[in-house]
Structure 1
Amino acid sequence: MEMITGRKVLDDSLPDDETHLVTIFRRNMLDKEKFRKFVDPTLVLSTESWNSLLEVSDLARHCTAREPSQRPDTCHCVNRLSSLVDQWKPTNVDEDDDEGETSEMGLHQQLEQWRSDDFTISDSDTFSSFNMPRR
């Protein structure tokens, strides 16, 4: 919700009825035109991107239901979001980006490249990185 709106979860500088992002987000989702004005104005959205944003927003709305039994489980969330992965591609490529050509790839392609990279971490590095005792 923070990324979609560009707002903080709690913002005491706003009027009382707009302080809590979850409440106002859920309220604005009821009216698509109102919601369009509520979305971070720095986001440049094509029709396809707008539809994807609405899908992610709807999922966020469900994830913040008052009753835990009404919230989707993680598997459901992953399934809904995974269908959007192939569509995601950065709109602006930063020339100073250390990632090189990966910044022009879609998220799914970046994930596959990351998985195929030939680096490994030894068990001792893993344990020392997380300050966890060896067993």
Structure 2
Amino acid sequence: MFTATGKVTTKVDVYAYGVILMEMITARKVLDDSLPDDETHLVTIFRRNMLDKEKFRKFVDPTLELSAEAWKSLLEVADLARHCTAREQNQRPDMCHCVNRLSSLLDQWKPTEVDDNDEFETSDIGLNQQLEKWRCDDFTISDSDTFSTFNMSKK
């Protein structure tokens, strides 16, 4: 970790990403001094609770209403979060691995959109289709030099 080496690396970013996933799954703070000493650090308690699926179910944000399929997806995301926060940097995945693991879940998730009345409603198309639509609508480059540079940087 950064605190041990003083170096910022992509593996530090992956660790932070895992922590954010944990926060979203549990709706808890990373550090919560209001809890008993053995429960103050989210990463430690998250990893401990993942060992027992029933214990983990009680640890997840209680406001989430999860179907069996959604619970299975949440467990996949939780496992990714656990993997991202491995103590040793060399045991953490890279972000490409994270994207690949999460992309398999895209078609199952439907984003919400805010209408004019500030009410949430579910979109009729999946996140994968939303992403493709966004790319087609918003990703236009008029300068061919910029486009060539962009393509070269991807190689």
Is TM (by shorter chain) over 0.5?
Answer: yes
1:64 equivalent in structure 2: 85
- SS of the residue 2:123 aligns to: helix
2:136 equivalent in structure 1: 116
1:15–1:122 distance in 2 versus 1, CA, 3 Å: farther
Unpaired stretches in structure 2, ≥5 consecutive residues: 1-21, 144-155
Identity of paired residues, percent? Answer: 83
Unpaired stretches in structure 1, ≥5 consecutive residues: 124-135
1:35-79: CA deviation from partner (whole Å, max 9, x where unpaired): 000000100101110000000000100100100011111121111
Alignment of 1:106 onto 2:148: no
AA aligned to 1:87 is Q
8 Å contact kept, 1:93–1:104: no
Q: State how 1:13-24 maps to structure 2 within 5 Å.
A: 13-24=34-45
8 Å contact kept, 1:63–1:71: yes
Q: State how 1:46-85 maps to structure 2 within 5 Å.
A: 46-85=67-106
1:89 equivalent in structure 2: 110
Q: Whole-Å Cα distance in 2 between the matches of residues 37 and 63 of structure 1?
A: 22
Q: Whole-Å Cα distance in 2 between the matches of residues 42 and 19 of structure 1?
A: 21
Across the aligned residues of Structure 1 and Structure 2, the Cα RMSD in angstroms comes to 2.6
AA aligned to 2:28 is R
1:122–1:9 distance in 2 versus 1, CA, 3 Å: farther
- SS of the residue 1:42 aligns to: coil
The worse-fitting range, judged by mean Cα deviation, of 114-123 and 38-47 is 114-123
AA aligned to 2:85 is T
